Structure 1
Amino acid sequence: MTTFIFDVLKDLQNSHVNFSKTTFILPSKRAGIFLKHQLPKVIQQTIFSPQIISIEEFVEDLSLLKSVSNTELIFEFYNTYKALTEQEHLDTFESFSKWAQVLLQDFNEIDRYLIPQEKIFNYLSAIQDLKHWSLEDNKTDLVKNYLSFWNKLYKYYHHFSTNLLEKNIGYQGLIYREAVNNLESYIQNNPEKQHVFLGFNALNSAEETIIQELLQNDLAKIYWDIDAVFMDKPQHDAALFTRQHKTNWPYFKNNTFNWITQNYSKEKNISIYGIPKNIGQAKYVGELLNGLQKTNSSLQNTAVVLGDESLLIPVLNSLPKSIESLNITMGFPLKSIPLASLFESLFHLHKTTSNSFYYKDVVNIISHQFIRPLFHIENTDYASKIIEPIDANNIVYLNTSRLIEISNNNANTIIDLLFSNWATSIDNALNNCTELILNIKNYLDNDKQSNLLSLEYLYRFNELFNELRRLNVKHPHLYDISSLYGVYKELLSTETLDFQGEPLQGLQIMGMLESRVLDFETVIITSVNEGVLPSGKSNNSFIPFDVKLENNLPTYKEKDAVYTYHFYRILQRAKNIYILYNTEADVLTGGEKSRFITQLELEGVHNINHQIITPHVPIVENKLNIVKKTDALKNQIITLAEEGFSPSSLTSYIRNPIDFYYQKILKIKEHDDVEETVAANTLGTVVHNTLEDFYKPLIGQFLTIEIIKSLKLQIEEIVTYHFKNEYKEGDITKGKNLIIFEIAKRYVSNFLDLEINSLKEGNKIKIIAIEAENEVSINIPELNFPVRLKGKVDRVEEYNGTTRIIDYKTGGVQQNEVEIVNWEDLNTDYKKYSKSFQVLAYAYMMLASKQIELPVEAGIISFKNLSSGLLKFGKKDSTFSRNKDQLITQETIENFLVQLKALIIEICNPEMDFIEKEV
């Protein structure tokens, strides 16, 4: 296939143009590389290379101004704003930067399209005045300030542009306007210089003026790249601008219009694939390239055009490993680099002025992949030594001095850099960032070869912070971390880490704008969805739609036409075209399939293969986890049996044998995270410990109303003590924790009230034991090793002569949860019978250790169901029977013992593996 660039060079050669004295002007620098590569294919002799530049470079040369970054323009504009705005109405730099971005964009458009500035700004001011009741005498201060802002727009523009011109710098629009002003002088000074413009489409008024003036003075040629199919259809937006140029430019009344080609209607293989989600598209790009490699191993003359450039990383991760040559025309966004997340976290932490930091923010920073190694000092991991006490002591908020205290003064330097002196001044914050980068570099330098990419990240971020420092020195408008963060984000969003590669070899990956002027035989275009291609309506401007129309400024229609041209132009000479779109409409990242796809299908020029691709989803069988009982595991079980099974460990096995294996055999505990809100188990422990403190001194005594009343006076003190003991440094003085603290006091108070009411009714209560430790041996002939059962009973009392074993539960328990019908169910249904199992186990241990005698009662006191009193264990004859035996007799113990032994034999059986239960 021949390319547009080759055709242009061939035509110039046939016209006997002197290439060495010609300046080629293209829409992008990228196209210039391809043009230089094509020159040797046309010119056979050695020549001096022509000048090849982008339109931005050409206009900058014409204007004699230097282009500056958008961030620096915001700082310069704030100087103007401060000079023209009263102090009492002055916005902070942070607030100003939000609306100034939009206004600068409008300045840019007004200048690029050569609109008379004073006229349009006065027009805008008049419109706002009409909207806000210009005839009203009593305008509010808000309306006055609002109208004052619009009245100053021209003053802002004039002061700002004058200031920039004095410094010989400018934004794009100002550079274009100055270029037009200098055009006559340029033509006079370069009467023989030839220019070739190629591949242009949508031109602003300044560009049109420059190009037409050069054409009229026979100093230029221009080559358009448009197809007859588009030109011949007035409704086709791909040729919207080209038709206007052909019709409106006087030059084309007497000169040839180069060119209207016939490439689009040639035979093409067009395949359209609807694929769910963006990642699905990236993966399918890899599959397509894998297939294309079979016919073109180098993938030369193949391009992947990313409609949504955020797909770059997923696409790179999906490329076949067999691809050897690859060129990426877009840079890797600096905001996607891991180091960006570190500075994001630091700015987030410091942008609010506070002396204390939220523990999750602190842990997040200390644990960061670039920071954690800095806490490794003299073979000690001080990051862990800081994080563990935070978790263990429930420290929700902490300051720098507390961090240094926790680390025992061993990591002061890095702690200071991360957490100290950020808010004191912008210079300190920037110094901390720079020092942090140097500290990370010193660590990475220990193994340079393994850390080359990370060192490149650091270098780019060092450049970024140097630029921030320069801007802050030159324009001291930043007064707090929040405003610094705003500028940092603005710079970060525009910075990229450039890939290195051979620009003319192998597979090309590019954005839609990079494809301008370039032609490829095989093209894969991704994200062809509404909202992406085209990008849809957006009105990021202070200029109303009707004013834009009146002044011939571009609206969303022209913006859509630009996308239409780029999309169709890349299809013109391609032979194999693969168009991918996301079938899952997402209003944030793009809607349904693009109108471009529908247009392709309806225009009837090509046969199109349209398919919906669904990813292959493997059938994953839900296999229950099985742990084989190896010899080593059997020995661990024997050790556990000898140490003693607790009722809770046995019920854990009933619930799920795998949980029992993890917790009791492997000793794996859940990580103790910081309890920001008091957990249920902490509340239970506080209540249990409070009642233990109250009742332990009363063992062997009969309770009296006076004793219980005296205990009620101590509730506040004892509950507070145990909260501090269990909840460590967690705050119980506000929020949910205060409510839970009050609930704990209420639980204890209500329990004591229950005791008082029972004593008033004439019941005699004697405390036999509190938190009674039990450990007994169980004789199981089937096992050739000793087995023990151990546990702690919350309370044993004598109630009107009957011994009662009581277990406290702070959660809600109902009577039916401590009743059984069939003894066999104890070992099978954890949800229904775990509480019955526990109280029976406590009763058996107390009897086996001869601390009590039969008959006894055993049950649960539920603090959420205190009105029901003791919920006694009961054996019923049938599910629907109302009669139940609530006394635990020898027969009860023997029946329970059968189930207990069967359960322990199952746990210890070497032939029965630990098999996970379905939840």
Structure 2
Amino acid sequence: MIKTFIEETLSKILEQNSADLSQLVFILPSKRAGGFLKNEIKQKVTETIFAPTVLSIEEFIVDITNLKPLDNTNSLFKFYETYSSLTDKNDKEDFETFYAWAQTLIYDFNEIDRYLIDSQDFFSYLSKIQDLNHWSYPDEQTELIQNYLKFWHKLPEYYKHYTEKLLAENEAYQGLIYREASIKIEEYLATEDRQFIFIGFNALNNAEQKIIQHVIEKNKGEVFWDIDKVFFQDKAHDASLFLRQYKENWPVFNENKKIFNWIADNYSAEKTIEVYGIPKNIGQAKHIGNLLKNYSAEELTNTAIALNDEALLLPLLNSLPANVEKANITMGLPLAETPLASLFESLFVIQEEKTEKYYYKPVMDILNHPFVINYLGETSHILQQKIAEENQVFISLHLLQSIISEDKVELLKNCFTNYKDNVTNFLKALEKITLILKEELQQASSLEIEYLFHFNKLFKKIQNLLAENNPINSIQALHKIYKDTLSTESLDFSGSPFDGLQIMGMLETRVLDYERVIISSVNEGLLPAGKSNNSFIPYDLKKEYQLPTYKEKDAVYAYHFYRLLQRAKEVHLLYNNDQSGFQAGEQSRFITQLQIEKQPKHTLTFHQINPNVHTTKRDLKQIDKTPEVLEKLKNLAKYGFSPSALTSYIRNPLDFYKNYVLGIRDTEEVEESIAANTLGTVVHDTLEHLYKPYEGKNIDAAILKKMQTEANQQIVKEFQKTYKQAPINQGKNLIVFEIAKRYISNFLQQELKTLEQHSLQIIQIENKLKAKLEIENLDFPIYIGGKVDRVDQLDENLRIIDYKTGKVDQPDLNLKNWEQLTNDYKFSKAFQVLCYAYMIHKKTPINSAQAGIISFKNLKKSYLKFTDISAGKNQLIDEKTLQKFHIEIEKLILEIFDPNIPFTEKEV
């Protein structure tokens, strides 16, 4: 077993303070580290004692000042009060605009205070830089630039008013607490008899440095550092950047000759370091699971997994092997990652609509949410089905209430009321929704109840925040507050921090040591995090005032990484080597450093792990024709196979089986944009309405011109009938609506041109046809049936016409080989028109006719005729042609009814 830093430090302290530990105050970087220290004290002390005080650095700073800490959201609200009171009414921005830049400014206030910068001097310097940098210099300043510069000149006033107001109310944001603590430390120590022991610190801000130095100077305590001599002696190594500065620059270590406790010598000892390049987060999670399989329960207790990317937590938990019986997760599950978060996000989206009707997608998301389905039951599916059937793109609360039972209606009222930017009422509704959903959850659903409890608490927290001072005047602004507050909330996992596998974030490893360490996502951009700059302070100004830049932030990551490796004997480093996406595939610079600065006793091995992808040959599905299936086919044949059903079989027999034998249809969905088949239906039905009154009559120019005047109005009616509730006067739908008008207009115009040289008689419009197929080998009736769009006579030529709103070209109707007709789906259009010709012939024998397509997308080609290429480009439909067709359709029917030929899927 390794000797940890806490163990080494405590042994030294016990030697010096064996008499009374209760007179000691231990101060550590985090509460978690404090818990491990208490456990170590319990292990080492053999007699009854009063426990020493153990504090995190934040708790110690608050203890010095007695100020109430403010979180980020509270700080923003307090600052808005300052901003409102000091800003001219004409220049004042609303809270939503203010919120966008104020978060960055509060962060900068924090930095200035933590590093004890003279605010007046600093802001004066910053405003002069902005004055020099403004883009119109030296031209006369515009009003925009004047306002911009006025903001920077007012910053000292904002800061002074804000901090004084907070201190008067005995509260402060974190940076201000640090500044006040650095002022009050001398007064605090004068009242204290206890000794203060600082353990495991690295990157200290100026306030912390001042406080710790003052404690040491007054002989009120000491500090124990944790740095290895390999790093400390290397002047260029970032891991020791801060500690070298403290040893060299703090007077207590130079003038007062205090001992620098201490520089360890562990890193150069024997270590096995394995580096794995693995694609994707899931790959890393699975590989960690494979590594853990090989550890015993005792080995797992001294194993830590450090996650650089919190998104890896859930995949990792799902990948833990069976031998991991105990696991302690210190990170917590972010509330934003829970299933319930998506429901409330949809409710905020709903409120973006400024009318009493809501866009269907977020409505469907809400109705389809597991928590809502659990509460509404089958009613949720009925609501969704009605929305789809009626094609409701925009949905009102009234429609939903008309279907739901009275006892369930309260949930929908709270979800789908338009709160018209009344923030208070909307928050109350969100809170009420959590209580309503809880009603249907059984006690067994403890995790779901936990989710609801935390969201209920979150909404109450925001309500309490707004109760004191509510500058928010829109739900959109509330949404930003909600998302920021949500990002800070998490569900804590219960577990023993001293037993079993430890899973934590990188910062939570501070002061802790493990024999086996697994670090995930060791990628550049994650470890270290890179050059993010969420600050108004320019880089050169930060350097001037010795504020931390990305250089210092990188050094913080370097220290955490190498400190975790110092005492470990077995290290596994995993990084995402996938080359797609942002920040992809690049291993961290720390891995490269391990290679370049490899210690003699270190065994460093690199692996490229690729997932085992088993290539399995996909067998085409087959469905045998059972007696029940054959009976169903006979019933279909008796009713009549449609041309589209038979072409469906030609395209893919398995689709034919699903659609016509089993009767499975695609789930009906809301048609937001007009689909191709809807456009086709509208055009067909419009032409039927226009031409139907003239069946059996000759068409002249006057009739066609009358149709032209009626066409647009009829198209609107057909859209209302087919497309139901959806709007056709905006967006893509308006374009499709105009296309339908253009199709009909162009077609009627072409008809007029045809009449200039030809006579035209309408014989049939949308006539239902049915014909019996005589097949000797089958002892039951076979019928085919369908609806022919139009049969007319142009001069002396009988024409059978099928309308298509899609693109059809002449080659689609040119048949070189008759066997292609029932083998190749490409010729489905030819098959279809021949079916109509065959059915018409059965009723009234055809001596000579033409069958073809009018394609509205290819209208310039006019009438595309079926052409038998094998018979010398014959375009006439006669007895001989129909006999050839009968032979092919008979083969197709016999294949469909052959019990020895299963329905076999065709490869796409």
TM-score, structure 1 length as denominator?
A: 0.95
Deviation of 1:754 (Å): 3.0
Partner of 1:321: 322
Deviation of 1:163 (Å): 1.1
Correspondence list, 1:710-749, <5 A: 710-749=706-745
Aligned partner letter, 2:416: F
**Could you give the per-residue CA deviations for residues 484-505 of structure 1, whole angstroms, max 9, x where no partner exists?**
1111111100001100111111
Partner of 2:669: 673
- Give the match's secondary structure for 1:318: coil
**Could you give the per-residue CA deviations for residues 853-904 of structure 1, whole angstroms, max 9, x where no partner exists?**
32322222222333333222221237xxxx4222222221111111111100
In structure 2, relative to structure 1, the CA distance for the partners of 1:110 and 1:759 (3 Å cut) is closer
1:697 aligns with 2:697: no
In structure 2, relative to structure 1, the CA distance for the partners of 1:175 and 1:387 (3 Å cut) is same
| Residue of 493, 514, 539 corresponding to 2:533 | 539
Aligned partner letter, 2:350: L
1:115 aligns with 2:108: no
Greater displacement, 502-511 / 411-420: 411-420
* Contact 1:298/1:323, CA 8 A, preserved across alignment: no
- Give the match's secondary structure for 1:676: coil
- Provide the C-alpha distance between the structure 2 equivalents of 1:132 and 1:777, rounded to a whole number of angstroms: 87
- Give the match's secondary structure for 2:275: strand
* Contact 2:846/2:878, CA 8 A, preserved across alignment: no
Aligned partner letter, 1:908: F
1:386 aligns with 2:383: yes
Greater displacement, 794-803 / 398-407: 398-407
Partner of 1:908: 897
- Provide the C-alpha distance between the structure 2 equivalents of 1:843 and 1:857, rounded to a whole number of angstroms: 9
- Provide the C-alpha distance between the structure 1 equivalents of 2:729 and 2:880, rounded to a whole number of angstroms: 52
1:523 aligns with 2:517: yes
| Residue of 605, 622, 635 corresponding to 2:631 | 635
**Could you give the per-residue CA deviations for residues 440-467 of structure 1, whole angstroms, max 9, x where no partner exists?**
01111xx211x11000001111110111
In structure 2, relative to structure 1, the CA distance for the partners of 1:223 and 1:409 (3 Å cut) is closer
- Provide the C-alpha distance between the structure 2 equivalents of 1:145 and 1:918, rounded to a whole number of angstroms: 67
- Provide the C-alpha distance between the structure 1 equivalents of 2:649 and 2:597, rounded to a whole number of angstroms: 69
- Give the match's secondary structure for 2:578: coil
In structure 2, relative to structure 1, the CA distance for the partners of 1:534 and 1:867 (3 Å cut) is closer
The count of residues paired between Structure 1 and Structure 2 equals 902
- Give the match's secondary structure for 1:905: helix
Greater displacement, 456-465 / 752-761: 752-761
* Contact 1:777/1:787, CA 8 A, preserved across alignment: yes
* Contact 2:421/2:475, CA 8 A, preserved across alignment: no
Aligned partner letter, 1:712: Q
- Give the match's secondary structure for 1:89: coil
1:265 aligns with 2:268: yes
Deviation of 1:541 (Å): 1.3
- Provide the C-alpha distance between the structure 2 equivalents of 1:176 and 1:843, rounded to a whole number of angstroms: 91
Greater displacement, 464-473 / 684-693: 684-693
Aligned partner letter, 1:480: S
Partner of 1:148: 150
- Provide the C-alpha distance between the structure 1 equivalents of 2:473 and 2:737, rounded to a whole number of angstroms: 42
- Provide the C-alpha distance between the structure 2 equivalents of 1:745 and 1:408, rounded to a whole number of angstroms: 43
In structure 2, relative to structure 1, the CA distance for the partners of 1:737 and 1:16 (3 Å cut) is closer
| Residue of 266, 280, 291 corresponding to 2:283 | 280
In structure 2, relative to structure 1, the CA distance for the partners of 1:739 and 1:556 (3 Å cut) is closer
**Could you give the per-residue CA deviations for residues 93-117 of structure 1, whole angstroms, max 9, x where no partner exists?**
1111221111111111111111112
Aligned partner letter, 1:637: L
- Provide the C-alpha distance between the structure 2 equivalents of 1:483 and 1:165, rounded to a whole number of angstroms: 28
Deviation of 1:120 (Å): 0.8
Deviation of 1:589 (Å): 5.3
- Give the match's secondary structure for 1:884: coil
**Could you give the per-residue CA deviations for residues 578-617 of structure 1, whole angstroms, max 9, x where no partner exists?**
0111112567456611110000110120230011111111
* Contact 2:846/2:879, CA 8 A, preserved across alignment: no
Greater displacement, 568-577 / 136-145: 136-145
Q: Which runs of 5+ in 1 are unaligned?
A: none
Deviation of 1:408 (Å): 8.6
Partner of 2:683: 687
1:815 aligns with 2:810: yes
Partner of 1:656: 652
1:899 aligns with 2:899: no
Partner of 1:574: 568
- Provide the C-alpha distance between the structure 2 equivalents of 1:834 and 1:47, rounded to a whole number of angstroms: 92
| Residue of 739, 748, 751 corresponding to 2:747 | 751
Partner of 1:830: 825
* Contact 2:394/2:726, CA 8 A, preserved across alignment: no
**Could you give the per-residue CA deviations for residues 135-159 of structure 1, whole angstroms, max 9, x where no partner exists?**
8584221121111111111111111
Deviation of 1:40 (Å): 3.2
Correspondence list, 1:221-232, <5 A: 221-232=222-233
1:483 aligns with 2:477: yes
- Give the match's secondary structure for 1:492: helix
In structure 2, relative to structure 1, the CA distance for the partners of 1:522 and 1:673 (3 Å cut) is same
Aligned partner letter, 1:608: L
- Give the match's secondary structure for 1:97: helix
Partner of 1:233: 234
- Provide the C-alpha distance between the structure 2 equivalents of 1:554 and 1:779, rounded to a whole number of angstroms: 91
| Residue of 46, 63, 70 corresponding to 2:48 | 46
1:7 aligns with 2:4: no
1:299 aligns with 2:300: yes
* Contact 2:577/2:584, CA 8 A, preserved across alignment: no
Greater displacement, 673-682 / 30-39: 673-682
Partner of 1:342: 343
Deviation of 1:356 (Å): 2.7
CA RMSD of aligned residues (A): 1.9
- Provide the C-alpha distance between the structure 1 equivalents of 2:455 and 2:851, rounded to a whole number of angstroms: 69
Partner of 1:870: 863
Greater displacement, 485-494 / 805-814: 805-814
- Provide the C-alpha distance between the structure 2 equivalents of 1:534 and 1:42, rounded to a whole number of angstroms: 37
- Give the match's secondary structure for 1:88: coil
Partner of 1:839: 833
- Give the match's secondary structure for 1:152: helix
- Provide the C-alpha distance between the structure 2 equivalents of 1:263 and 1:182, rounded to a whole number of angstroms: 39
Q: Which runs of 5+ in 2 are unaligned?
A: none
Aligned partner letter, 1:907: I
Deviation of 1:351 (Å): 3.6
- Give the match's secondary structure for 2:766: strand
Partner of 2:252: 251
1:431 aligns with 2:428: yes
* Contact 1:73/1:171, CA 8 A, preserved across alignment: yes
* Contact 1:421/1:428, CA 8 A, preserved across alignment: no
- Provide the C-alpha distance between the structure 1 equivalents of 2:464 and 2:452, rounded to a whole number of angstroms: 18
* Contact 2:355/2:418, CA 8 A, preserved across alignment: no
Deviation of 1:738 (Å): 2.7
Partner of 1:353: 354
- Give the match's secondary structure for 1:579: strand
1:764 aligns with 2:744: no
TM-score, structure 2 length as denominator?
A: 0.96
| Residue of 277, 290, 293 corresponding to 1:290 | 293
Partner of 1:855: 848
- Provide the C-alpha distance between the structure 1 equivalents of 2:580 and 2:209, rounded to a whole number of angstroms: 38
- Give the match's secondary structure for 2:370: coil
Deviation of 1:395 (Å): 2.2
* Contact 1:531/1:591, CA 8 A, preserved across alignment: no
Aligned partner letter, 1:877: S
* Contact 2:805/2:856, CA 8 A, preserved across alignment: yes
- Provide the C-alpha distance between the structure 1 equivalents of 2:406 and 2:724, rounded to a whole number of angstroms: 22
* Contact 1:812/1:865, CA 8 A, preserved across alignment: yes
* Contact 1:777/1:786, CA 8 A, preserved across alignment: yes
**Could you give the per-residue CA deviations for residues 49-98 of structure 1, whole angstroms, max 9, x where no partner exists?**
11111111111100111212111111111111111111111111111122
In structure 2, relative to structure 1, the CA distance for the partners of 1:786 and 1:146 (3 Å cut) is same
**Could you give the per-residue CA deviations for residues 362-402 of structure 1, whole angstroms, max 9, x where no partner exists?**
111122111233334xxxx3333332232223222233334
* Contact 1:798/1:804, CA 8 A, preserved across alignment: yes
Greater displacement, 382-391 / 685-694: 382-391
Greater displacement, 899-908 / 812-821: 812-821
- Provide the C-alpha distance between the structure 1 equivalents of 2:776 and 2:201, rounded to a whole number of angstroms: 95
**Could you give the per-residue CA deviations for residues 672-700 of structure 1, whole angstroms, max 9, x where no partner exists?**
32222222212221222222222222222
1:175 aligns with 2:168: no
